[in-house]
Amino acid sequence: MTTPQGVAAPGSAPGAAVASHCPYCALQCAQTLTSTPGERLPVAVSGRQFPTNRGGLCQKGWTSAEVLRASDRITTPRIRTADGGFRTATWVEALDLVAGRIRQIQAESGDDAVAVFGGGGLTNEKAYALGKFARLALHTRLIDYNGRFCMSSAAAASNRTLGMDRGLAFPLSDLGGADAILILGSNMGVTMPPFVQHLAGVRERGGLIVVDPRATVTAKLAANGAGVHLAPVPGSDMVVLLALLHIVLAEGLADLDYLEVRVNGLDAVRRSVAQWWPERAEAETGIPADTLREVARLLAAASPSRGGRGAYILTGRGVEQMSQGTACVSAAINLALALGLVGREGSGYGPVTGQGNGQGGREHGQKSDQLPGYRMITDPATRAHVAAVWGVDPARIPGPGVPAVQLLSSLGTPGGPRALMVHGSNVVVSAPNATRVEERLKALDLLVVCDLVPSETALLADVILPVTQWAEEDGTMTNLEGRIIRRRAAVDAPGEARSELWILGELARRLGCDAVFSDEPEVMFDEMARASAGGKADYSGVTYARLDAGEELFWPVPAAPAGDAPHPGTPRPFLDRFPTPDGRATMHAVAHHGPADDVRPGMTTYLVTGRVLQHYQSGAQTRRVKELVQAQPEPFVEMHPLLAERYGLSEGAVAFLASERGEAMARVRLTTDIRVDTVFMPFHWAGAGSANRLTNDVTDPTSAMPEFKVTAVEIRAAHQLRTTPQLEGAVR
């Protein structure tokens, strides 16, 4: 049995090869999965030629098959017992229990007493089905997802400035021809290593500019004549951008012809950046004024208007996960517009999406205020269109809900949700102010978690439902370029694990919902495509057949009129005009206010967080891979030797960190690759080594993004404290 292009289907002969993509980040590296019946692992993984990864994989990708047979893989439904443990249950028993409890809770407390939390790793089909399920089967408006922690600031800034949030509005391979690339708050050398090969050209030309308070792997790529590394005071990245734009305008480096034809709002922005002359910016950021001038001139020289090959500005979570994240991204886009980069082939602006389906996951309905096609749930025309596809009256679709932090904070409170369904997320580890999140989950009357391993969130559940993972399911993903790709099943799932599509359909039927919930991914994709028609993220011209035939389709891909050739997709959507009413981009004047939790007496050190090479997100999958655990076994706190000396700490000693929200402990790693006033912790671990026990859940007023990236902490040597067993468990 084969699928199009000779791709093998699950259950095929030994050695059959399936073309699919990595289960981890948004680079979505192409993989070939070869079935290996009788072996310890059911598939062998190899890299496959594809424009993003060019055949390469990172350590996580190479070892991804290990999670398919994790020793604690959940393969049957589990129901919590009176003694706090779990017992195995049948699907009928588990689903009847969930549906019955939901009906009871909603009868007592209303539809919004049940909430849903999704994930940016779900396929497009599952993200779409989850949003539909929440609104039609549960009748709740309360749904959001962990993408709120990932791309919300970049999305908000792109939507209001450029008219559309499409991640990278150009193929990744375009980066190779640039003379300059400015990267702010992204360490892709660690988070998505195959990305780095696309920076080879700009490094050869000495134009790589990296802004990060740490000398990360990515920042070190700019060493030895390859570019410039700027290490600002944490939380001051926005000032770097405002100062660069000040210099571009003051020195006559802007592309005035482009601005005249394609951009609104320049005058207000010019006035707003006038106050950020380089010397003032130096005092705020610690970056020398002359270095700021050098960088501004480097970017300008690379711009098309001045005869350069092109330039790009890329942002990541380091500047987006801030209480001024939307404003900071807006400042980056303003700079790109002033240089005439956006909407020109060979130049541009783009946020580097993190989660595997971070782009597609926010387009089709699991965001609190959106319906499929990236359209607002409050728009009457959108509601009418989607309702027609769903076969319901528009009035049946609830209004907007609340974003993730607000939703999680309200769980189990008077008048708040009494039940929560979690899909594809481990909020106990990944959410800010994680201790409070755990408390709120424990206050629920019903917690249902769909997962493949007993994550920290699943272990708090009343019911755990086992689900399939990447090599066991068909579907589509949308990568960081807006490229729609096919995920293909290569092996059958173990035990009784089922796709969320099947689970949602079974629950919808039990809840009396007559809407279509097929467990066939292609059926749900075709419906999703129709629902998206006319929206910003229009997939209506995409079919599995086109994807399986090898077409490169970047959304929007509207359906072509009858008799016309299929729409080819839109790899560079801003070339002719911006998707705004007047076709022009709009600059927004923004003001810097710094982090909400700034350093002060008693809390004198900045904490920044991020990833390590071997682990991904909350670590629920990668902490179960022996090779990855051996390489990176435990949490740590990275600090400069001078800072460590101040607190009486040495390499390998245990440091105690405290913020206004919580406490953590981890072993010290000394390095001169970080500012003396800053420490770094990765966020992949739970318990006392959890960085997100410390992080701030204050949110950006526009995007509702929490301020993960800058937290003021107190540091002490652990031996000076009387620690609890729980804290001592953080280190070995």
**pLDDT tens digit sequence for 138-178:** 999 999 999 999 889 999 999 999 999 999 999 999 999 99
**pLDDT for 15:** 72
**pLDDT tens digit sequence for 275-309:** 999 999 999 999 999 999 999 999 999 999 999 99
Say what the pTM is: 0.95
What is the residue whose two structure tokens read 């971070």? 358
Average pLDDT over residues 362-374: 94
**pLDDT for 642:** 98
Pairwise CA distance, residues 131 & 508, whole Å: 12
Whether the per-residue pLDDT at 729 is higher than 60: the answer is: no
**pLDDT for 726:** 44
**pLDDT tens digit sequence for 49-71:** 999 999 999 999 999 999 999 99
**Nearest CA-CA partner of 128 in 111, 143, 108:** 143
Whether the per-residue pLDDT at 723 is higher than 50: the answer is: no
CB atoms within 10 A of CB 32: 17
Maximal C-alpha separation, the chain: 77
**pLDDT for 724:** 43
**pLDDT for 111:** 98
Average pLDDT over residues 30-46: 95
Domains in the chain with CATH codes: 2-69 (2.20.25.90), 78-149+358-554 (3.40.50.740), 152-351 (3.40.228.10), 605-728 (2.40.40.20)
Whether the per-residue pLDDT at 496 is higher than 90: the answer is: yes
Whether the per-residue pLDDT at 612 is higher than 90: the answer is: yes
**pLDDT for 727:** 45
Pairwise CA distance, residues 698 & 707, whole Å: 6
Average pLDDT over residues 643-653: 97
Average pLDDT over residues 183-189: 96
Whether the per-residue pLDDT at 721 is higher than 60: the answer is: no
Residue 729 is inside which H or E element, if any?
none
The stretches of 379-477 forming alpha helices (DSSP H) are: 380-390, 404-410, 427-430, 434-442
The percentage of residues in the chain with a pLDDT greater than 90, rounded to a whole number, is: 94
What is the DSSP secondary-structure string of 628-696? HHHHS-S-EEEE-HHHHHHTT--TTPEEEEE-SS-EEEEEEEE-SSB-TTEEEEES---GGG-GGGTS-
Average pLDDT over residues 711-732: 66
**pLDDT tens digit sequence for 108-132:** 999 999 999 999 999 999 999 999 9
**pLDDT for 625:** 96
Beta-sheet pairing, 654-658 with 711-717: antiparallel
Coil, strand or helix at 19: strand
Average pLDDT over residues 21-34: 96
Q: Is 204 exposed, middle or buried (0-12, 13-18, 19+ CB in 10 A)?
A: exposed
**pLDDT tens digit sequence for 416-464:** 999 999 999 999 999 999 999 999 999 999 999 999 999 999 999 999 9
Question: Chain-wide mean pLDDT for the chain?
Answer: 95
**pLDDT for 566:** 97
**pLDDT for 76:** 98
**pLDDT tens digit sequence for 649-694:** 999 999 999 999 999 999 999 999 999 999 999 999 999 999 999 9
